[in-house]
Amino acid sequence: MMPEHMREHLVQYFGFKPSNVIVLTDHAKNKPTRSVILGALNWLVEGAAAHDSLFIHYSGHGGQAPDDNGDEADGWDEVIYPLDYKENSFIRDDQLHEMLVSRLPPGCRLTAVFDACHSGTVLDLPRIYSSTCRERHSHISNRSRTRGQSAADVICFSSCRDGETSADTFQGGMPVGAMSWAWLSALKRKEEHTYKSLLTATRQILEKRYAQRPQLGSNHEIVSPSISFAAANDL
């Protein structure tokens, strides 16, 4: 799935204004270097207020690095790789959490989709639901669990567990992230989803061809069906 397809879906079906959507690609003038990505994240959350609805989709390379502050139960930070990571390093989950979770005010909602290898806990959220919608409890340390509590409403769909890799596929003759394709396909097949039903539908599409197990992260308990993904458009 090309970034333009995600942008089109946000605008057409969820009411986002085209002027409020930024797309970064390797082939565009505004390339996703480390400084550009961090600048875009800052743009996304700057001035966020109660009842705002924010969305971020990352489809790219991900990995792991030794935990540098003791907040990971498995000793590894999850990271994403900007285009210039060899010169300017990767971006750790700690920094993503600080920018996309800690800075958000009460009543603001962020929906994130991370399609990358080792992305299961890429936002260090305190609650993680497996592809079977069962909550997992051993993915982060108690320190991180306490830090992860935020007054905002943050939801993150990840393409796989921390120890797994994410596959690519071809759609329309173009290479795309398999999870991104499956996630958007699930949305198009059924307009109304709860977060958990969307996770299940994404997994059902993926499992026919791929071993990766998508995850759902949240900073609050998810009680289905009281939370509707489609409702994010109304905030």
Active-site residue list? 61, 117
For the chain, counts of helices (H) and of strands (E): 7, 11
Helical residues (DSSP H) of the chain, grouped into ranges: 3-14, 34-45, 85-88, 93-97, 142-147, 178-189, 195-206
Query: How many CB atoms sit inside 10 A of residue 226's CB?
Result: 9
DSSP 232: G
Distance CA 179, CA 168 (A): 8
Q: At what angle do helices 195-206 and 178-189 cross, to 10 degrees?
A: 120
- Residue in this structure with the two tokens 């592809």, named with its chain if needed: 131
Distance CA 216, CA 198 (A): 10
Helical residues (DSSP H) of 15-156, grouped into ranges: 34-45, 85-88, 93-97, 142-147
Q: Please report, as a single letter, which amino acid is at residue 82.
A: P
